[in-house]
Amino acid sequence: MSGELSPIDKAKFAAAKRAVDYVEDGMRVGLGTGSTAAWMVRCLGEMVREDGLKIRGVPTSTRTAELARQVGIEVISLDEAKWLDLTIDGADEFDADLNLIKGGGGALLQEKIVATASDQMIVIADAAKEVTQLGAFPLPVEVIPFGWQTTKALVEEALVGLDVMGRDGSLRMNGEAPFVTDESNYIVDLHLNRIKNPRQLALVLNQIPGVVENGLFIDICDIAVVGHGDGKVEVRDINAGTVEEEKIDFLDNENLFIDL
Ligand SMILES: O=C[C@H](O)[C@H](O)[C@H](O)COP(=O)(O)O
């Protein structure tokens, strides 16, 4: 990547750059997946290379593992880390309670395992991801390939009686073939439009045989760092209830902007 960043990339970068302030020497850090998380991995890599920061990272996808190694972060497995100090990840939507929809990139399963095994989860997002009610973004549900059509039908049936606006699921595709996750599963995207009770929906979905996990992250995220295209950043802390605003400078740093 070279030249001027687009406003959306500036927003993502600003959120990522502010969030890495939470990372301290010696930490075991969960590394999220997606375009926003990729900025965070690049920022952390710079801190490792330039400032001598010593961290170990647990990636949430093969893509993130590859990027982390490229930028110089020591990569370990979750089983090696056992528990994490902090996870920083992106989201497709977040609400005022910091409940999230994740999985637009198909990494929801490892992301949820890693975030749940962390003392703290910070979500980084551009301001457009904030919603008053979750559900406009299709909810990813990871299902095992065996009998996926039956599982999809059971999922759609389970939605009857829940306060959602749509009930259709679609198998995520990668060209002509089903999209396959890092855990060799499929993804059914649910077009719900509105999710009145995300906590209930998350529980209902995970009780259906064949469903491995869903993209609702309920009571997992502690802090949201929200970036804007002009470099402004807000920090929302669910415990402290604080809102902080500051501006991130866009660094003229080729190391961060090269296409990794
Ligand atoms: O599976 C992918 C992840 O949940 C991503 O963190 C999420 O889709 C947000 O991605 P992005 O930062 O590219 O919008």
Neighbours of 18 (CB within 10 A): 24
CB 101 within 8 A of CB 139: yes
Any catalytic annotation for residue 213?
Answer: no
Residue 4: per-residue pLDDT:
80
Measured in Å, residue 224 CA sits from the centre of ligand 1 at 14
Q: Please give the structure tokens belonging to residue 106.
A: 């198909």
ipTM value, please give it.
0.99
Q: Does residue 59 carry a pLDDT above 90? A: yes
- One DSSP character per residue, 234-255 reads EEEETTT--EEEEE------HH
Indicate which atom in ligand 1 lies nearest the CA of residue 106. Answer: 1
Instruction: Report d(CA 159, CA 177) in Å as an integer.
Output: 26
Tens of pLDDT, residue by residue over 185-215, are: 999 999 999 999 999 999 999 999 999 999 9
- Which residues share a beta bridge with 29? 57, 86
Is the Cα dihedral 134, 41, 184, 119 positive or negative? Answer: negative
- pLDDT tens digits for 229-260? 999 999 999 888 778 788 887 765 555 654 44
List, as residue ranges, the binding site for substrate.
33-36, 89-92, 102-105, 129
Question: What integer best gives the mean pLDDT of the chain?
Answer: 93
Q: What separation in Å is there between the alpha carbon of 112 and the centre of ligand 1?
A: 12
Please tell me the predicted confidence (pLDDT) of residue 162. 84
Q: State yes or no: pLDDT of 159 exceeds 80.
A: yes
- CB 193 less than 6 A from any atom of ligand 1: no
Tokens describing residue 218: 């309920």
* Dist CA 197 CA 205 (whole Å): 12
Q: What is the pTM of this model?
A: 0.95
From the CB of 92, is ligand 1 less than 6 Å away? yes
Protein residue closest via CA to atom 7 of ligand 1: 91
Kindly report the CATH number that applies to the domain delimited by 2-129+219-257. Answer: 3.40.50.1360
**pLDDT greater than 80 at residue 151:** yes
User: Considering only CA atoms, which residue is closest to atom 9 of ligand 1?
Assistant: 91
* Band of pLDDT at residue 6, cut at 50, 70 and 90: very high
**What's the rounded Cα separation, in Å, for the pair 119 and 215?**
20
Annotated catalytic residue within 24, 46, 93, 111 = 111
Q: Which atom of ligand 1 is least distant from the CA of 140?
A: 1
What is the average pLDDT across 45-69?
A: 98
CA geometry: angle at 230 spanning 225 and 236, to 5°?
A: 20
pLDDT at 142 over 60: yes
Q: Helices (DSSP H) in the chain: which residue ranges? A: 7-19, 35-51, 62-71, 78-81, 108-116, 148-158, 198-206, 254-257
Q: How confident is the model at residue 114 (pLDDT cuts 50, 70, 90)?
A: very high
> In the CATH scheme, what is the code of domain 139-213?
3.30.70.260
CA of 129, closest atom in ligand 1: 14
Q: What is the mean pLDDT of residues 110-114?
A: 98
pLDDT given for residue 149 in this prediction: 97
Residue identifier of the C-alpha nearest atom 5 of ligand 1: 34
Domain with CATH 3.30.70.260 in the chain: 139-213
Residue ranges of the chain assigned to CATH 3.40.50.1360: 2-129+219-257
pLDDT at position 255 is: 56
